[in-house]
Amino acid sequence: MRLINVRPDRGTALVLAILPFALVILAYVLGSAERLALNPDDKLLPSFGTIGDAIVKMAFTADNRTGDYLLWSDTAASLGRLLAALAISTAVALVVGVLIGMLPAVRAFLAPFVGMVSMVPPLALLPILFIVMGLGEESKIALIAIGITPFLIRDLAMRVEELPHEQLIKAQTMGASSWLIALRVVLPQIAPRLMDALRLSLGPAFLFLIAAEAIASDSGLGYRIFLVRRYLAMDVILPYVAWITLLAVLMDFALVKARRLIFPWFGAAK
């Protein structure tokens, strides 16, 4: 049988999906055991026991200086920044993207500019943001927003232009104004696509978040891992990285679920 026609059944698919995770964990355990056998004080690949202790210390023990549970206060700080930035980006991208996609005049006016701006490396702007906005929350949120908004705008504008032209004509023959076409024809069809675009921009959003926190912050997940790096505290860094990854995966998953729930027509119509 041709390889393209070989489909694993559910059980096999599950085993196949778990396999890479299991292999990575196994490799870690073996490597860690070997290094610890040579040097019990090795910090590079701590045992799961050590990592467990670190998790208990970060997540379930109040910090004796601030009285916070650090993992949770870091998570709250980081997610606050991330969600604020995502909200701003989404709102801006929705308005500008739909305008560029629908109105030829706005497209002529803004599309080249947005195309250019999207090529500016956001991290190169970070010093400017720190200078202009200070080291507070604003500059971090601004970095994330600047990092992902141009991508979202361009993606949405393209999705709007992709809608069959017949639909826009049809809406006009039903007497709709540009406003009503945006409201009843374009926006509802763009919303699920926006959620997909948001999923794709979660990765960059976390990247900019960690970068901003690493450079100037006193809280947040990125701040913490760069702080404990000084003590080679791999037992803290590793669970933090795993936690950040898990957060991103959960957000991605929630977006897919929400899209399916709110826009049941979308999957079938594509």
Partner 1 sequence: MTAISVRHLWKEYGDQIVLEDICLDFAPRSFVALVGPSGCGKTTFLRILLSQEHATRGEVLIDGRPIAPEPDADRGVVFQRYSVFPHLTVLGNVLLAAELAEAPLSGRLFGARRRQAEEEARALIAEVGLKGAEDKYPAALSGGMQQRLALAQAIMRKPKILLLDEPFGALDPGIRADIHVLMKALWNACEMSVVMVTHDLREAFTLATRIIAFERRRNRPEEAARYGATVAKDIEVWPKRIAGTRNPATGVGGSPDTPHSPGRDDPATSSGTGRDDPALKTA
Which listed residue (12, 66, 167, 245) binds partner 1 by CB under 8 A? 167
Pick one of 118, 172, 243, 248: the residue that binds partner 1 (CB under 8 A).
Answer: 172
- Using CB under 8 A, which of 106, 117, 180, 228 touches partner 1? 180
Which of residues 20 and 164 has its CB atom nearest to partner 1 in the complex? Answer: 164
CB of 127: closest distance to partner 1 in angstroms?
44
Of residues 5, 39, 64, 173, which one binds partner 1 by CB under 8 A?
A: 173
**Which of residues 169, 232, 246, 250 is near partner 1 by CB under 8 A?**
169
DSSP string, 128-187: HHHHHH-SSHHHHHHHHHHHHHHHHHHHHHHHHHHS-HHHHHHHHHTT--HHHIIIIIIH
Between residues 82 and 190, which has the closer beta carbon with respect to partner 1? 190
Look up residue 45 and give its two tokens.
């690949």
Asked if 11 touches partner 1 (CB under 8 A), the answer is: no
CB under 8 Å, gap of 24 or more: what pairs does 70-74 form? 70/224, 71/240, 71/243, 73/219, 74/219, 74/220, 74/221, 74/223, 74/224, 74/240
Residue type, 121: P
| By the rule CB under 8 A, 268 interacts with partner 1 | yes
| Residue 261 interacts with partner 1 (CB under 8 A): yes or no | no
Q: Contact region for partner 1 (CB under 8 A) — 90-98, 107-115, 127-135, 170-178?
A: 170-178
Nearer to partner 1, 61 or 177 (CB): 177
Q: To the nearest 10°, the Cα dihedral for 11, 13, 14, 16? A: 120
Give Cα 222 distance to the centre of its chain: 14
Residue 240 backbone dihedrals phi, psi, to 5 degrees? -65, -45
Q: Which residues bind partner 1 (CB under 8 A)?
A: 164, 166-167, 169-177, 179-180, 183-185, 188-189, 263-266, 268-269
